[in-house]
Amino acid sequence: MTPYIDITDANEYFLTRYNVDSWDEASDVDKLRTLCEATTRIDRLNFIGKKNDQDQEYQFPRYDDTTVPIDIQYACAEIAFALLDGIEPEREIELLSMKSQGLASARSTYDRTFVPEHLLAGIPSSLAWQYLKPYLIDPENVTITRAT
């Protein structure tokens, strides 16, 4: 599997970021693994338009593009970094939805009425979500066409 961004380009991207120790300290094997997982997570989303070539393995490039947009590459890097930093959407949902927790008589209360959309989509980074969102189909915008 080839991720949307390679390790060299991701390393260069993270040179512009502060507090990225999890990335800097990771081995190239772990970086590649998380970049591949990030690519898989991105490809599970619903994007606007069609693939450049219907036989291509990944969702990008799209339309007449021949390369992966830089925003998608950055999103891939950000997801990989979040995974290396130990962020897992499932666990974050559990932690965010805790309303109260007791010690005596051991009780916990959860409020699952609000969970950030990026976590629901399996994306562990809100910054990556900001890069991805302009490319996503709006689930509230439905187009109906009549077949004749």
The closest alpha carbon to 62, from 54, 37, 70, belongs to: 54
Residues 6+ apart with CB under 8 A from 68: 4, 5, 60, 61
> Measuring CA to CA, how many Å separate 134 from each of 115, 119, 137?
20, 17, 8
Give the pLDDT confidence score for residue 145 in this predicted structure. 59
> Measuring CA to CA, how many Å separate 10 from each of 7, 24, 67, 71, 72?
5, 11, 16, 12, 12
Give the pLDDT confidence score for residue 101 in this predicted structure. 58
Asked if pLDDT for residue 67 goes beyond 90, the answer is: yes
Give the tokens for residue 129.
């979500």
Give the pLDDT confidence score for residue 121 in this predicted structure. 83
Give helix 70-84 / helix 7-14 axis angle, nearest 10°: 80
pLDDT tens digits for 27-59? 999 999 999 999 999 999 999 999 999 899 999
- 85 residue type, one letter: D
Instruction: Give strand pairing partners of 98.
Output: 110
φ, ψ (nearest 5 deg) of residue 98: -75, 120
pLDDT tens digits for 85-128? 988 766 665 555 555 555 666 666 665 566 678 877 889 999 99
- CA 72, CA 58: separation in Å to the nearest integer? 12
Hey, how many other C-beta atoms are within 10 angstroms of the C-beta on 76?
30
Q: CB of 77 within 8 A of CB of 87?
A: no
Query: Which is more confidently placed, 80 or 103?
Result: 80
